[in-house]
Amino acid sequence: MYKAALITGGTRGIGRAIAESIAPMHKNLCLVYNNDEESALATKKAIESTTDTKVFLYKFDLSNLHEIEGLVEKIYSDVSEISTLVNNAGVILSPGGWMEQSISDFERSIAINFTSVAVLTKFIVPQMIEKKHGRIINLSSTYAINGAVPVLSYTCAKSAVTTLTTALAAELGQYSITVNAIAPGNIDTDMTSSAGKEIIDWAISTTPIGRLGKAEEVGKVAKYLIESPFITGTTQVVDGGQILKI
């Protein structure tokens, strides 16, 4: 049983499924969300009523990069140690022509989808090094592989997440810290439904398994990575084979 897992965006969609999947392995879960308090409270209630795991909630906008250190201090005042870090929070801002995307949306997209991952990891890793144990899982995307133009700032950020993953895996292996990425294809969450029917139909038609993925299917991969001390520096694609067709 590990002390605690910190999951950003752990209160909805894939993050919630990861939280539910790994809760029985951790005494505490620290879940960061941005706005949706109702989902946050519902997730806490669901986990605490079905497991012995205590859930701490933190409302925090990860685009506030200079305040992440303060968030980490608050988390360490609630739990003494983070054994597992899941950098899951992500957002697609103003999809469409990349020439039309405003500089401020571009900056915010990179801040939430990439820079916050690097900054949060920087503040969590020293204590993992001290304990000589840690699991870091970063949510990338298959879109990072083909650079989907309609969501270009998002895909560039996710591509940087993959690079961060391999670089840190090489550096941190000596402390028994593993760093892996998960690259989902199209998973049935609010992020996908907000893309609209046309995109969903396209996703299903280009996926050999013939459907959207389920958030729980990503949650199982996260659990597997936490249980696997000899897997590091990898990107686990969870896409029903879509990458073979697009």
Ligand X SMILES: NC(=O)c1ccc[n+]([C@@H]2O[C@H](COP(=O)([O-])OP(=O)(O)OC[C@H]3O[C@@H](n4cnc5c(N)ncnc54)[C@H](OP(=O)(O)O)[C@@H]3O)[C@@H](O)[C@H]2O)c1
Question: Does 33 participate in binding ligand X (rule CB under 6 A)?
Answer: yes
> Residue 13 — left, alpha, or beta (φ > 0 → left; ψ -120 to 50 → alpha)?
left
Site string (202-241) toward ligand X, x via CB under 6 A: ----------------------------------------
β-strands 2-8, 235-238: how paired?
Answer: unpaired
Catalytic annotation on 154?
A: yes
**Considering the rule CB under 6 A, would residue 107 count as an interface residue with ligand X?**
no
Which tokens belong to 143? 């879109």
Among 5, 6, 7, 9, binds ligand X (CB under 6 A): 9
* Contacting residues for 157 by C-beta, under 8 A, at least 6 apart: 109, 110, 112, 113, 114
**Least Å from the CB of residue 132 to ligand X:** 28
**Binding status of residue 112 toward ligand X by CB under 6 A:** yes
Locate tokens 């870090």: which residue?
A: 85
Which one, 178 or 186, has the nearer CB to ligand X? 186
The DSSP line for 184-217 is E-SBSSHHHHTT-HHHHHHHHHT-TT-SPBPHHH
Catalytic residue among 58, 154, 175, 224: 154
User: Which positions from 138 through 157 interact with ligand X, judged by CB under 6 A?
Assistant: 139, 141
φ, ψ of residue 178 in degrees (nearest 5)? -100, 145
Q: Least distance (Å) from ligand X to the CB of residue 33?
A: 4
Chain residues that interact with ligand X, rule: CB under 6 A: 8-9, 11-15, 32-36, 39, 60-63, 88-91, 112, 139, 141, 184, 186-187, 189-192
Residues forming the active site: 154
